[in-house]
């Protein structure tokens, strides 16, 4: 009991060392490095409910910038698109890919915008394109492969 009293008295006088506190990382982005391969479970196409696809992300993080590819694989095909404008801020990741679609006016370029939030070991995404007829938002989760 007197030992505890001595410690308390020493702390009050400032002579006892404070208990060790674990150091926090100096670079929060290092603790949230998204580099690597990520995959989704099969997603139902919002334009054709009979079609599914799986997204495979190959991400490379450099500070708060994000680079890489998105491969979308269906039962009959696969397309790979480069990540553009990738940024990471805290637990948020944003980027877009570019594609071309066929419409009544011929080939029309479009962007697919991805907005993700890192939650635990997964990224919860919302994806929406800017096709003139109006892109439907899709929600999905990607996990490390």
Three-class secondary structure of residue 131 per DSSP: coil
Rounded mean pLDDT of the chain?
A: 83
Terminal-to-terminal C-alpha distance of the chain: 55
> pLDDT digit string (tens) for 15-64?
444 444 443 344 454 457 999 999 999 999 888 889 999 999 999 999 99
**Of 135, 144, 117, 138, the residue nearest 126 (C-alpha):** 138
pLDDT value, residue 15: 45
pLDDT confidence band for 2 (50 / 70 / 90): very low
pLDDT value, residue 48: 85
Domain ranges of the chain: 28-144
Write out the DSSP string of 34-90.
--EEEEE--EE-SS-TT-EEEEEEEEEEETTEEEEEEEEEESS-EEEEE-EEEEEET
Cα–Cα distance for residue pair 92/47, rounded to 1 Å: 27
Looking at the chain, the whole-number percentage of residues with pLDDT higher than 90 is 63
pLDDT confidence band for 103 (50 / 70 / 90): confident
Residue 120 confidence (pLDDT) above 80 = yes
Cα–Cα distance for residue pair 84/94, rounded to 1 Å: 9
pLDDT value, residue 5: 45
Question: Is 56 in contact with 70 (CB distance < 8 Å)?
Answer: yes
Cα–Cα distance for residue pair 54/56, rounded to 1 Å: 7
Does domain 28-144 fall under CATH 2.40.128? My reply is: yes
Question: Is 103 in contact with 133 (CB distance < 8 Å)?
Answer: yes
pLDDT value, residue 45: 86
> pLDDT digit string (tens) for 62-83?
999 999 999 999 988 999 999 9
Please provide residue 144's backbone torsions phi and psi, each rounded to the nearest 5 degrees: -65, 140
pLDDT value, residue 35: 97
């Amino acid at each position: 009991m007197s030992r505890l009293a001595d410690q308390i008295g020493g702390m009050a006088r400032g002579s006892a060392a404070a208990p060790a506190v674990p150091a926090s990382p100096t670079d929060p982005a290092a603790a949230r490095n998204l580099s690597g391969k990520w995959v989704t479970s099969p997603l139902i196409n919002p334009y054709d409910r009979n079609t599914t696809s799986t997204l495979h992300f190959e991400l490379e993080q450099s500070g708060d910038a994000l680079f890489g590819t998105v491969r979308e694989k269906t039962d009959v095909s696969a397309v790979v698109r480069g990540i553009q404008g990738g940024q990471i801020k805290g637990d948020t990741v944003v980027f877009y890919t570019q594609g071309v679609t066929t419409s009544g006016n011929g080939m029309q370029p479009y962007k697919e915008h991805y907005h993700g939030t890192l939650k635990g070991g997964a990224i919860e995404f919302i994806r929406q394109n800017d096709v003139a007829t109006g892109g439907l938002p899709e929600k999905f989760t990607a996990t490390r492969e």
